[in-house]
Every structure is written in structure tokens, then in C-alpha cells.
Amino acid sequence: MANVQEISAEFPFRSNYVEAHGSRMHYIDEGSGDPILFLHGNPTSSYLWRNIIPYLTPLGRCIAPDLIGMGRSDAPDLAYRFVDHARYAEGFIEKLGLKNITLVIHDWGSALGFHYAMRNENNIKMGKPIDVYEVVSNYNEKLQESELPKLLFFASPGGLINAKTVEWCKQTLKNLEAINIGAGIHYLQEDNPHRIGSTLAKWYTGLSQPG
């Protein structure tokens, strides 16, 4: 595991490819066990998760795709609307046969993850657990508390969301664990990946424990 002070630029993972809807999607696949699916945002790639995934590989099968048209995935002739990304993300999950998924999500990946989880709740670990890196107010999903039994939320107040919004989340969602990682704006994985990774690992380990 990388030194806690180091934020490495290296991407030491083997590339894998799978075809979804006639196009190749690139992904990394590390570790074994139940799948932990990392969905990045727009316009990044699986590279964003490079310093976080090593914390989770001892606990599960860490899979991080490049969304269609991004990173090393193919760029077919699409409008690249949300519905297009959702279709390819679901196709990716189906092609790999992923079951009992835990989602680690960011930016557009958050919207895609929520969309998938609400339509495929039986395929999400422990019902509907979702790890959230950012809840941007304009997602406006209107989720009920009962729909989110396990939620981990990393925030850097003052970036895309303010302290008031974070406090609202903490007060409203009783099953929410909020972690303030300090200064940052949007790409929190680049600001404090080791705090995020170690906290995620601890949270994930606790999913299977009572209480």
C-alpha cells in the first residue's frame, strides 16, 4: 500500500476489456470476493481511483470501468446523454455478471449508481448500500430514508456543496456517516485519497457486522 503521505501518479493495474452494446469498455479488476464497483464522473476515468483501490483489494473484487467514451473505452457515435451512459454501465455489469455489488461513486457516477441501485436493488449488497463521494444538489433524486440503509458520504464543504447542505444530509439521513476530508473542490480522490481509502475499508468491513 502506498505511503500515507504519497499521492502517486502511477497506475499499476492490468487493463481488461469487455464488449457492451458492440463497444469495448476498459476496466481494472483487482482482488477477489464480492464486487466493489467504482464509477467515476465526467470527464475522468478509472485513473481517478488509483490510490483508493489498494485499500479495498484485501476485502473484495475492485472493479473500475472507464465509462463509455472516456479513458481507454471505445467512443461510439452517441449523444452521450445520461441514458446512454446508464445503458452502457448496466451492460457492463451484465456482461461481467456482477452480483451483490457495493457502489463507490462520484459525480456522474453517483447519478448512474443511484439509478442502477434503485432499479436493481436485489443486486446491491445488503439491500441498498451506496457509498457516496459527492451528493450534488441538482441530482435531486428525492430518496427516502428507508431507501438508503447504509450510506458513506465524503465531503469537502465549500466546494460543490456547502456546509449547510452537508449538515442537512447529516440531520436528515439517519444512516449517513459523513466524513470531512478537509480542503478540496471536486476531485476529492486527488486531494486526500488515503483518508478516503482507509475510511472506506473500515466502513466496508462493518457492512457485514451487526449493529
Distance CA 33, CA 31 (A): 7
Grouping H, G, I as helix, E, B as strand and the rest as coil, residue 129 is coil
State mean pLDDT over 78-98: 97
Average pLDDT of the chain? 83
CA dist 135 and 120 (Å) reads 20
Own/partner pairs, 18-24, CB within 8 angstroms, 24+ separation = 18/92, 18/95, 18/96, 19/95, 20/68, 20/88, 20/91, 20/92, 20/94, 20/95, 21/87, 21/88, 21/91, 22/76, 23/68, 23/73, 23/74, 23/76, 23/88, 24/73, 24/74
Q: How confident is the model at residue 152, as a pLDDT?
A: 67
119-138 tens-digit pLDDT: 998 898 864 433 444 333 33
Q: Domains (ranges, CATH) in the chain?
A: 16-205 (3.40.50.1820)
Nearest of 207, 209, 204 to residue 59 by alpha carbon: 204
Which pLDDT score, from 0 to 100, does residue 79 have? 96
pLDDT of the residue at 23: 98
Q: What digits encode the pLDDT tens for the residues 143-155? A: 444 444 466 676 6
Alpha helices in 15-105 (DSSP H): 53-56, 82-96
- Percent helix, strand and coil across the chain, each to the nearest 5: 35, 20, 45
Portion of the chain with pLDDT greater than 70, in percent: 78
Report the alpha-carbon distance of residue 107 to residue 44 in Å, rounded.
10
Write out pLDDT tens, residues 1-29.
Answer: 444 568 999 999 999 999 999 999 999 99
pLDDT (average), residues 55-78: 98
A 10 A CB-CB count for 209 gives 6
The answer for residues whose C-beta is within 8 angstroms of residue 29's C-beta and 6 or more apart is 14, 16, 61, 62, 63
Q: Which of the pair, 142 or 209, is modelled with greater confidence?
A: 209
Q: Read out DSSP for 53-73? A: HHHHTTTSEEEEEPPTTSTTS
Q: Identify which of 58, 57, 63, 115 has the alpha carbon closest to the alpha carbon of residue 85.
A: 115
Task: Give yes or no for residue 182 having a pLDDT over 80.
Answer: no
